[in-house]
């Protein structure tokens, strides 16, 4: 049952989900905002995991339909997950204009949802043998739950929160070109998540020193 559920989540869900989210946000806030929400995590999902998986060899996916050690549709998979988190916390909200306090609330909420969803997602992948970790955060004696817990809650909280914040800020400045907003959004998300993972690795090395 878990295997079929994960196959659906990995290979099927991202595509109808992204179509729905694009249609929804296009109708509410226009196509520029919809493209921002789709393309920032697509770029992130191909570039950052591509470096971590295929260059730095920090983990790998043991599944069909791969480029190197990660999914051929990895960017769309990441985008589907991130847009799900953002949609769940914000679909009933006008989003514009928002106070900074409201933006902070949505940012934290999206981080919490993303952190929990991908923590569960990666725990199941490790249990099923679809994901192997080879970084300083894990040891061979750890259970799948412990391995996922070593990085997923913190890193994916930061991923979801930084994505939500970049999206909410982008929405406040309609006069800025879409390309600039997508570029800045990607850089913000990539930088914050890299720092978060780097801090976890630094702490793990210090504990074992």
pLDDT at 97: 83
The encoded tokens of residue 133 equal: 């970790």
Of 205, 104, 91, the C-alpha closest to 162 is 104
Mean pLDDT of 149-153: 93
Residue 69 CA, chain-centre distance (Å), reads: 18
Say whether pLDDT at 159 is over 70.
Answer: yes
Q: Mind listing the pLDDT tens digit for each residue in 58-67? A: 888 888 888 8
Judged against a pLDDT cut of 80, whether residue 209 lies above it is answered with: no
**Residue 98: is its pLDDT beyond 70?**
yes
What pLDDT digit, counting tens, does each position of 117-139 carry? 999 999 999 999 999 888 888 88
Report how far residue 83's alpha carbon sits from residue 90's, in angstroms, rounded to the nearest whole number: 10
- What's the pTM value of the predicted model, to 2 decimals? 0.93
Compute the Cα dihedral for 85, 87, 93, 97 and give only its sign: positive
**How does pLDDT run across 4-43, given as a tens digit for each residue?**
999 999 999 999 999 999 999 999 899 999 999 999 999 9
CA dihedral 161, 165, 167, 169 (to 10 degrees): 180
CB 143 within 8 A of CB 173: no
Question: In the prediction, which pLDDT does 135 show?
Answer: 83
pLDDT of residue 14: 96
Cis status, amide bond into 97, omega within 30 of 0: yes
Predicted pLDDT at 197: 93
């Amino acid at each position: 049952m878990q295997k079929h559920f994960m196959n659906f989540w990995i290979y099927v869900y991202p595509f109808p989900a992204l179509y729905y989210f694009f249609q929804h946000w296009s109708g509410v806030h226009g196509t520029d905002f919809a493209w921002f929400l789709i393309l920032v995590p697509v770029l992130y999902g191909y570039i950052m995991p591509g470096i971590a998986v295929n260059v730095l060899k920090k983990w790998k996916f043991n599944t069909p339909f791969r480029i190197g050690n990660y999914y051929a549709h990895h960017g769309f998979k990441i985008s589907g997950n991130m847009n799900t988190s953002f949609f769940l916390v914000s679909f009933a909200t006008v989003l514009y204009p928002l106070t900074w306090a409201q933006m902070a609330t949505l940012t934290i909420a999206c981080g919490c949802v993303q952190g929990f969803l991908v923590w569960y997602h990666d725990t199941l992948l490790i249990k099923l043998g679809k994901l192997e970790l080879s970084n300083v955060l894990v040891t061979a004696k750890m259970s799948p739950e412990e391995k996922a817990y070593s990085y997923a809650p913190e890193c994916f909280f930061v991923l979801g929160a930084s994505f939500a914040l970049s999206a909410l800020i982008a929405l406040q400045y309609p006069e800025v070109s879409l390309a600039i907003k997508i570029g800045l959004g990607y850089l913000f998300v990539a930088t914050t998540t890299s720092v978060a993972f780097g801090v976890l690795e630094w702490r793990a090395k210090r504990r074992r020193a």
